[in-house]
Structure 1
Amino acid sequence: MELRLDTFSGAPERRLERVTAGTEWTGELTAAERVVTIHALVAVQRDTRVRRTCETVHRDVLHQLCLPEHELTVVRLKPATFLLRFLSPQLHNKALAARVLFVGGISLRLMLWMKPVNAASRSSCFRVRVCLEGVPSHGHQIEIVRQLFRGPIFVDGVDDEREEDEEIGCFCLWL
Structure 2
Amino acid sequence: MDPVDLTAPGLLLRAWRARDAAAVLAALREPEVERWNPQGVRDEAGAREWVRLRADPRAVDRLSLAVTDAADGTLLGGASLFQIHDGNASIGYWTAAAARGRGVASRAVTALGGWAFTHLGVHRIELCHAVANPASCRVAARAGYPIEGTMRDSHRYGDGRRHDEHLHARLATDP
Is the TM-score greater than 0.5? no
Structure with higher Rg: it is 1
- Higher normalized strand content (fraction of residues): 2
